[in-house]
Structure 1
Amino acid sequence: MNEKMIPKESYSYWRKAAEERGLTFEKLENQVHHADVTIVGAGITGIIAAYLLSREGKKVALVEAGRVIDGTTGYTTAKVSAQHGVIYDQLLQQHGADKASQYYQANLAALNFIENLVDELNIDCEYTKLPSYIYSVTEKGSETIKKEAKAYQELNIPGELTTVTDLPFQVTSALRMPNQAQFHPVKFLLPLLDEIKANGGTIFEHTRVTKITGGEPVEVVTEGGGKLSSPKVIVSTHFPINDFKGLYFSRLDIERSYILAAKSAIPVPEGMYLSADQPKRSIRYSTDSNGEKMILFGGDSHKTGQGGDTEEHYQNLKHFAEKHFSIKEFPYRWSAQDLTTLDKIPYIGHVTGNQPHILVATGYAKWGMTNGAAAALLLSDLVQEKDNRFKDLFTPSRFNANPSIKNFVKENADVAKEFVKGKLDKHDRRLEELENGEGAVVTVDGKRAGAYRNDIGEVTVVDTTCTHMGCELGWNNAEKSWDCPCHGSRFSACGDVIEGPAVEPLKKIYE
């Protein structure tokens, strides 16, 4: 049997469209830029919010630390759906019918907004209407799905229980939600950048924001000595870079998950699928640049910085794919980082009760296409002081004692454990033992350090203390990064920030 190898390096297929377009924007350095609204973070929320506000005549500045659409939005499974796994039974039990229904309505409105925008601007982004399924292959999973179907009935959500799917294996149960969609997220967002520019907006890349002051106007300070001054600021950086005493770092669960793209010799499933059983498996198709269909297999989530040998997660997806599909090749692999709030509903609104000029959006729980668009719609209304019926549902200042307080204690107990564990962990690897392309925690001059030897043998050694709150980082061998097990910050092998909440790079011991 010819072994099908997975790629050695991670590369998102979605990002290919941005690179082929060759779109670049200037870096803000050593100057002050004035705008009506500054939006920090150029993913789906930031770009749609900038488009909406610029369309209304607002002078908008959109600021991105790296490249536009190169955060979680560029590494998603890109399902445009209000079926967010098994969530509505949980929301019904924890929040009641009114809020559970509002959550569905907000995401349905976001789906319709995206569809209408695709039509209005004639965006070629492979937007395809498809049913979405939650499926199970166990009796336990089937019972979970039946409870979810009952919640659908109570909330008047369109859905159908079935055992008929186009998966190449038998399911014990499946819950079908009709009229959902999938698309190419980068191809959807690139034309919106053109619209923002045409509407008079300014876009900055490679402009990392390090500080936001809550005065009037709000001042946004960047790493390169630049500043942006605006009456209103939206923080859509995935993890909020400034906490403003909102304790976001203690109110979010941070996970990494993995995607493996495959080409199959058997027919590709036409719907979008997510398992109710553990381990979670997500299945949808896409089409490559040659018009050939690929299956995107997703799953194997774990807390950031706590994934062990991260290459194994790709191998687990490979084994699942090969077990059920006749795989010809695996052309792409990539991973993503996702944040989930204590009560599973995103935080969207004023960053704290006493900061009316700074707004935030975070915690999309792996469903960023609709939750992200819903956030942009809500934030646009809040900036313009318009009424929005979902304002109270998503407000970051909410605190539901059940189940939030239990989850708050659980998450922060885990953080405390990882903080202490990192300080006490033995690190007996030696620098000279590292092979090319390998990183590890080592001892340098009797102290803990992180070393990486690149493909040509050059070594970089960094301090593995996270610059956010001092937790000890671990090596992610699949992505060649230093990951924080406490609050999810990630750094390149050379110490540069990849994911917040950290904004400062790691201290280099030598290179």
Structure 2
Amino acid sequence: MRLPGASQSMWRDFQIESFPSLEEGLKTEMTVIGAGITGITTAYLLVNQGYDVVLLDAGQIISGATGYTTAKISAQHGLVYDDLIETIGEEKAKLYYEANRSALNMIDDIRKKHEIDCDFSYQDAFVYGESEQSKKKIEKEAEAYEKLGIDGGLSDDVDLPFKISSAIKMKDQAQFHPVKYLAALVGYLKEKNVRIYENTRAVDIKKGQKPEVIAENDHSLTSDHVVIASHFPFKDFEGVYFARLHVERSYSLAVKTDTKIPEGMYLNADQPKRSIRNAVDPSGEKVLLVGGESHTSGQIEDTLACYENLRAFADEHFGVTEIPHRWSAQDMTTLDKVPYIGPITEKNPNIHVATGFTKWGMTLGTVAAQVLSDLISEKENPYAELFKPSRFNAKSDVKNFTVENADVAKEFVKGKIDRRTKEIDELEHDEGAVVKVNGKRAGCFKNSAGKTTLVDTTCTHMGCELNWNNGEKSWDCPCHGSRFNTDGKVIEGPATKPLEKLS
């Protein structure tokens, strides 16, 4: 069964209202940058407290990571709790669980309150293993569950069509359609007179008592507080986020099959990673979602092979009759695997950031909205200290900082000395590659009509050389994950400036 020709998220196959671009300078109380689950939920909580809120997005709302998720609402984030007890201690590990459980409950409360039909259903979540090594890890995680009072433990109640060595269950987690959920919240924000602007990329912030957000078109927003919910913080303010975040890309397929689709949500403990869950497609038919194949962003050029590996896995275990959708997403992991949520630096208490959700943005993005709205309104929040961006964890931060930035340095040098190029005439239609133009490295894309577009492949963030991503038809940075389309326009930050067009 062939893959779809183009990447298209199943969640994005849903009609969403459009909004204008910012065309004038404005003043407001709260500026929220990024209209995914974090930004929209933050705006929702703030407007309900009576604040005047403006919501900006660089593209279309809900078109970033939130629109390309596997949409699990779960506090089970792989085998994380045994590690968290080791790195941040038992008390904080318990807070991490409680924060995610609180987020699940909040999503359920909101969808009930506003009667949102978003395919929400409670599901048990499982991490399963197929090897003796993963069995030992799962048994240790079960001990962590017991220490932290987590509702779950080792389980044989696994609805999978292949043999496993062990599994751990977390009871009563959930799944939903994130775009349906957030589109309803956007409708509510509109009723509450929240001003929403699309295709308005924020490129700078001038700090001060009333920070000023500068958009790409030079219009600005002045407000009392700014929330950067743009996935990767585009403005750093000496927070060194580019050096404290590891960026990975992962892949998903929506699969139709004639065999039984499992109940429950599954993630394996072995490599390569595999995520499995059921879902409802736009026609109302039950489908299987298969995800995985994570890798450092920009460091694999043949990303179509990642989709093919997922297709082979799905076909082997479930039988594939059709693949209506395929998509990929990008996410960040912090040095200690706990998100950064709060003031971007201690010297800038009215500029806030939320990032590093480690592929679990549905719960952690909602946690971020709770924490940030409480900080802004000066309310006590039990999780604020846990997620504080300026924290330092000696057990994990030094080691992971060194490893991450050694990899960045390697990729920077590798790109500068890379001599692999193609001739422009060698490119097939709908193909991109690094070429040489007047002796210099350039990126060339040849579209379906045979027209070529040339761009400078030097990332506008910190100068790393970009690689071609054949699955998404984009130019991706192997250092910090910035992505650009074939015309050089920014798709994902931290870069804010487009690539130089050479033709």
Query: Structure 1-normalised TM-score?
Result: 0.98
2:198 to 196, 205, 209: 205
Q: Establish whether residue 10 from structure 1 lines up as the match of residue 7 from structure 2.
A: yes
Letter paired with 2:179: V
**SS state of the match for residue 205, structure 2?**
strand
Query: Equivalents in 1 of 2:25, 2:265: separation in Å?
Result: 46
Match of 1:465 in 2: 458
Match of 2:488 in 1: 495
**Cα offsets for 1:139-187 (capped at 9, x unmatched):** 1111111110010001111112123311111211111111100000000
Match of 2:178 in 1: 185
Match of 1:26 in 2: 20
Q: Return the offset for 1:289.
A: 2.4
Q: Return the offset for 1:259.
A: 0.2
**Cα offsets for 1:287-342 (capped at 9, x unmatched):** 11222111010000000011131110001001100110022111110000010000
**SS state of the match for residue 116, structure 2?**
coil
**SS state of the match for residue 145, structure 1?**
helix
Q: Return the offset for 1:225.
A: 2.2
Q: Which runs of 5+ in 2 are unaligned?
A: none
Q: Tell me if the contact between 1:211 and 1:242 (Cα under 8 Å) persists in the aligned partners.
A: yes
Q: How many residues align?
A: 503
**SS state of the match for residue 295, structure 1?**
strand
Matches within 5 A, 1:266-305: 266-305=259-298
Letter paired with 1:28: L
**SS state of the match for residue 100, structure 2?**
helix
**SS state of the match for residue 99, structure 2?**
helix
Query: Equivalents in 2 of 1:475, 1:71: separation in Å?
Result: 20
More displaced stretch, 133-142 vs 414-423: 133-142
2:364 to 347, 371, 380: 371
Q: Return the offset for 1:264.
A: 1.1
Query: Equivalents in 1 of 2:276, 2:99: separation in Å?
Result: 24
RMSD across aligned C-alpha pairs, in angstroms?
0.8
2:477 to 474, 480, 484: 484
Q: Tell me if the contact between 2:301 and 2:467 (Cα under 8 Å) persists in the aligned partners.
A: no
Q: Tell me if the contact between 1:57 and 1:199 (Cα under 8 Å) persists in the aligned partners.
A: no
Q: After TM superposition, which residue ranges in structure 1, 4 or more long, deviate above 3 angstroms? A: none
**SS state of the match for residue 13, structure 2?**
helix
Q: Tell me if the contact between 1:236 and 1:362 (Cα under 8 Å) persists in the aligned partners.
A: yes
Q: Return the offset for 1:256.
A: 0.3
Query: What is the identity percentage for the equivalent residue pairs of Structure 1 and Structure 2?
Result: 53
Q: Establish whether residue 505 from structure 1 lines up as the match of residue 498 from structure 2.
A: yes
**SS state of the match for residue 365, structure 1?**
coil
Q: Establish whether residue 143 from structure 1 lines up as the match of residue 140 from structure 2.
A: no
Query: Equivalents in 2 of 1:307, 1:142: separation in Å?
Result: 30
Match of 1:316 in 2: 309
* Distance of aligned partners of 1:383 and 1:172 in 2 relative to their CA distance in 1, 3 Å threshold: same
Q: Establish whether residue 245 from structure 1 lines up as the match of residue 242 from structure 2.
A: no
Q: Which runs of 5+ in 1 are unaligned?
A: none
**SS state of the match for residue 337, structure 1?**
strand
Query: Equivalents in 2 of 1:447, 1:427: separation in Å?
Result: 12
**SS state of the match for residue 413, structure 1?**
helix
Q: Establish whether residue 450 from structure 1 lines up as the match of residue 447 from structure 2.
A: no
Match of 1:430 in 2: 423
Query: Equivalents in 1 of 2:421, 2:435: separation in Å?
Result: 6
Query: Equivalents in 1 of 2:48, 2:267: separation in Å?
Result: 36
Query: Structure 2-normalised TM-score?
Result: 0.99
Q: Return the offset for 1:56.
A: 1.1
Q: Establish whether residue 359 from structure 1 lines up as the match of residue 346 from structure 2.
A: no
Query: Equivalents in 2 of 1:65, 1:428: separation in Å?
Result: 32
**Cα offsets for 1:198-230 (capped at 9, x unmatched):** 112100000011101111211000011211010
Query: Equivalents in 1 of 2:340, 2:27: separation in Å?
Result: 27
